[in-house]
Structures are given as C-alpha cells and as structure tokens.
Amino acid sequence: MKNSIKIIQPDDWHVHFREGEMLNVVTKYSSRVNRRCIAMPNTSTPITNSIEAINYKNLIQKNSGKNNFEALIPCYLTDNLDIDDFEYALHNNIFIGGKLYPNNATTNSQYGVNDIKKIYNIFEILEKQNKTLLIHGELNRSDIDIFDREKYFIDEELYQIRKSFKDLKIVLEHVSSDYGVDFVKTNINIAGTITPHHMLLTKEDVFKDEEINPHHYCMPVVKNEKDLTSLRNAACFNNSKFFLGTDSAPHHVVDKKQNDSLKAGIFSSSNSIELYASIFEEENALENLEKFSSINGPKFYNLDVNDQYLILDKEDKIVPEYTEEGNIKIKNFYANKKIHWKVAQLEV
C-alpha cells in the first residue's frame, strides 16, 4: 500500500470562480494544487468578448496568490457574438475556445444558444483556428426527462456537430452517463472531463422521499450505478480521452431548501485532488491518476505538461462542513466524510 504519491502538477479543465467576494474566496482553493484552470465564463454578466476575458483572467491571477497560476478562458457563445473580436481573441490566445451552453440548461445559461445550427459559423472559426469547442451537453426540453438530457443532446445535436466539423476539437464537459462515455470513446477529436461527484454519487443521493438534497444537485444530474461505474472506468483505466475537470461551482448556502432557491452546482475545489486520489485508490488505479490529472488534458489542448510536482500523503481527513470567509459561506462537497489523502507539497 502506498503512503505517498508524487504526480506532475495537475490542471483543472472546468471550474467556476464566479465574481466579487466569492471569486476572492474560492480562487485560492484551485491554485493551491493546480497550475492552470479553465475558468468557466458563465459569470453573472457572461464573458463574451476579448476585453472581458483579459480582465477576468487578470482578476483570477491576482486573487490566486501564486505567480504562475493561469486562468484559461473560453468565450461564452451567444447568438449575437462580435465575430471579429472573437476571431481576434482566439488568434491571440485570449480565448482558449468557445463554451456552448444550450439556453437554460444550467446556472447562468439564460444567454445561451437557442438554435445551435445558427452558430455553425462559430464552429467553423474554431475549427479553422484549431481551437476547442467546450460543450455543456444537455438538451433541456419539457418532454425530455432530466436524466436523459445528455443522451438527447448527443443524439440530436452532438452527433451532427461531429459529422459537420470533423477537425473541430470538442470537449464534452462533465460527462455524466455511460452513453456519454461511449460517445467520447468511439468518436474522433473529442474528449471528456469527469468530476469527482459524478464518480461518487448516484441519483438516490439527490432525490429521496420526494425531497431534493440541494448540496448534491448539479447539472448534469448524477445518474445510476451503471453510469457511475462507467465514468470510474473511463477515468481510472488509462483512457487518454478523459481528464480532470471538477466543475466546482460554488453557491451561497441557502437556509430554506425550497425549490425556488435551488441552484445547481457542487463546490469541491477545496478537496479536489484529494477526492480524485481516493477514487483512484478505491479502483486500485493510483498509478493512472497522473495521466488523468496532469497529462491527458494538456495533450488534448496542445499545451505543455506542467514542470512541477505535487506530493500527496496518505492521511485521513474529515472534510469540514463549510468554506466560510467574510460574507461567504459555501457547503463543501463530501462534508463530514472521510478522505484519505492530503496535499503535502509542491516540488520543482
């Protein structure tokens, strides 16, 4: 049994830093272990142009407490982007790519795209510039069951996008189903991020006795045992198409667990790599953690692998219930439960 592991410093390819005091509080939890993060652009005013992206990137870097921490920003794609600015920003690496939020699929997606066919010109630009299309892959329609949204998105949209833009690099974000894993595995130029919570929870942890546990509620919702197993296999067993993306998405704690205050999103960045290490250990796959956390991602994005190392020691720790600072109070994912790894140090 291993008591210590040393891995190339990880990156988080999907995280939400928000803005204002929340950003101030949460950024350091990501920069404590990661060298780079993809900072999702669904802020309350979404990041849709080069100036907003530069400002956001600088703000995150300033709050990270690290000199070499880097936020990579995808453009929040809308029906009415300034195309010249978008092309300029991609060309100058201000945007790492574009993030597609189908309209009203998740938190702050009300500016998202209604008719995906209408932004095919944007996909063409991304493809030409060899930049990535990051996708929230869910179709939110009243006739589609919440557990089937990923499948329907794949069948009705993604399949067609893949066929129409063969060279376009796509990341299916927070893959949540066996069906999604299978699509990523069997198609070209497509990868997937996998969160810790989709490998730890099933729908019974969210929906019980007609009540919703708001702290386990996220988009895409967690699904069945079969899906969880498929995600664990994809992450842990050396498939180079899957990499680390926590989708850590902080929300203020709300007192009343009413539906109208229910916000999708789970906050895990305060214990992210520790949770992943515990999962890989359970699967007897610790030797594959580094590929998932630190190698597959940069390879897919055509970036260098980090040159520092992170050391994790075997040590039990109970996750505290909240992350609290100033006016901010966030429920931690895995609160009051035991994780078995602790970050020891970063090493050159």
Binding site for ligand NCD (CB under 6 A): 16, 42, 106-108, 136, 218-219, 247, 249, 264-265
- Strand stretches in the chain, DSSP E: 4-8, 12-15, 36-39, 70-72, 74-76, 97-100, 132-135, 169-172, 190-194, 207-208, 211-212, 242-244, 309-318, 322-325, 328-331, 338-347
Could you tell me the smallest distance in angstroms from the CB atom of residue 149 to ligand NCD? 11
Could you tell me the smallest distance in angstroms from the CB atom of residue 248 to Zn ion? 8
DSSP 62: H
Could you tell me the smallest distance in angstroms from the CB atom of residue 136 to Zn ion? 7
Distance CA 63, CA 56 (A): 11
Applying CB under 5 A, does 12 fall inside the site for Zn ion?
A: no
Q: Mark the segment that binds Zn ion (CB under 5 A) among 118-126, 186-194, 225-233, 239-247.
A: 239-247
3-state secondary structure 296-314: HHHHHCCCCCCCCEEEEEE
SS3 1: coil
Which is nearer to ligand NCD, 5 or 135 (by Cβ)? 135
In the bound state, the residue with its beta carbon closest to ligand NCD is 265
CB 193 within 8 A of CB 247: yes
With CB under 5 to 8 Å by kind, the binding choice for 277 among ligand NCD, Zn ion, none is none
Q: Is 247 a catalytic residue?
A: yes
With CB under 5 to 8 Å by kind, the binding choice for 106 among ligand NCD, Zn ion, none is ligand NCD
Could you tell me the smallest distance in angstroms from the CB atom of residue 91 to Zn ion? 26
The token pair at 32 is 């404590």
- Of 205, 247, 260, 304, the active-site residue reads 247
The token pair at 168 is 């376009």
Q: Out of 12, 150, 247, 281, point to the residue binding Zn ion (CB under 5 A).
A: 247
By CB under 5 A, name the binding residues for Zn ion: 247
Q: Which residues are catalytic?
A: 247
